[in-house]
């Protein structure tokens, strides 16, 4: 679905309309022909679909009316931004799914009670990664003194993008779940986190990562990103 902003005519368009895709990068708005993506039905895709399906059923059949009302209040109270940068409000159902789908994928118990703090968690400005071709390992550093890190139930989800040629300046997927770092009360988790890359990497490639912070009360941050050139 395409989003359109009107002013003295059409100010901005984002998304698909007919056979065209409209988007924006640092150089301005652009338009390209729409292509139909393939559906490899990978194990990762299946896991995401299963998690979303399970959370949808849980919202309808397990949550109480009071719990759904609390999530709806959270949605009404927390401002988000769409692809055009406009302020919007997601429904309580949307927030419940986005907050619990990833933790459900790794076997954690969903947070059913709606948050009572009406703001998104802060992002981590220190988040950085390095990747080695020799070890095929990713090393992610983060601030282990942030609020999420020093509470049980806090999580840092990290996703790796497919490696790209070094001259590539933009990347928006595909992504694959790399790891989740769990908060520890007291002291916080160890940093850096080191684990095997989910994509094969080679020296000189450029690799993007993004992360989200989940607080113990179910609040999920907006994504924040970093990238690196892969080492020998």
Would you state the pLDDT for residue 74?
Answer: 98
Which homologous superfamily is 128-229 in? Immunoglobulins (2.60.40.10)
CA distances (Å), origin 76, targets 14, 70, 90, 217, 222: 24, 10, 7, 17, 17
Alpha carbons 45 and 177: distance in angstroms, whole number: 10
The model's pLDDT over 167-177, given as tens digits with 9 standing for 90+, comes to 999 898 899 99
Tell me: the pLDDT tens digits for 50-64?
889 999 999 999 999
Q: How many CA atoms lie within 13 A of 8 on its CB side?
A: 0
Closest-CA residue to 82 (of 130, 39, 24, 32): 24
Instruction: Sketch the domain layout of the chain as residue ranges.
Output: 3-33, 43-105, 128-229
| CA–CA dist 115, 159 (Å, integer) | 25
pTM reported for the whole predicted model: 0.83
Asked if pLDDT for residue 84 goes beyond 80, the answer is no
Residue 123's closest CA among 211, 190, 48?
Answer: 211
Here the tokens at position 119 are: 């703001």
């Amino acid at each position: 679905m395409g989003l359109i902003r009107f002013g003295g005519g059409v100010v901005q368009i984002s998304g698909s309309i007919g056979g065209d895709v409209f988007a924006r990068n640092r150089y301005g708005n652009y338009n390209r022909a729409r292509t139909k993506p393939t559906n490899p039905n990978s194990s990762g895709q299946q896991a995401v679909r299963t998690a979303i399906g399970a959370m949808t059923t849980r919202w309808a059949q397990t949550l109480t009316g009071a719990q759904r009302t609390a999530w709806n209040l959270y949605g009404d109270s927390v401002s988000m931004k769409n692809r055009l940068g406009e302020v919007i409000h997601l429904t309580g159902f949307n927030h419940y799914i986005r907050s619990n789908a990833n933790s459900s994928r790794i076997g954690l118990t969903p947070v059913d009670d709606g948050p009572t703090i009406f703001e998104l968690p802060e992002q981590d400005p220190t988040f950085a990664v390095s990747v080695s071709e020799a070890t095929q390992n990713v090393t992610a550093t983060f601030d282990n003194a942030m609020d999420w890190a020093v509470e049980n139930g806090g999580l840092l989800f990290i996703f790796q993008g497919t490696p790209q040629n070094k001259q590539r300046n933009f990347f928006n997927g595909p992504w694959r779940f790399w790891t989740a770092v769990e908060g520890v009360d007291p002291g916080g988790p160890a940093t850096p986190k080191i684990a095997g890359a989910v994509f094969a990497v080679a020296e000189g490639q450029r690799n993007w990562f993004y992360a989200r912070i989940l607080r113990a009360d179910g609040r999920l941050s907006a994504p924040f990103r970093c990238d690196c050139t892969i080492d020998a």
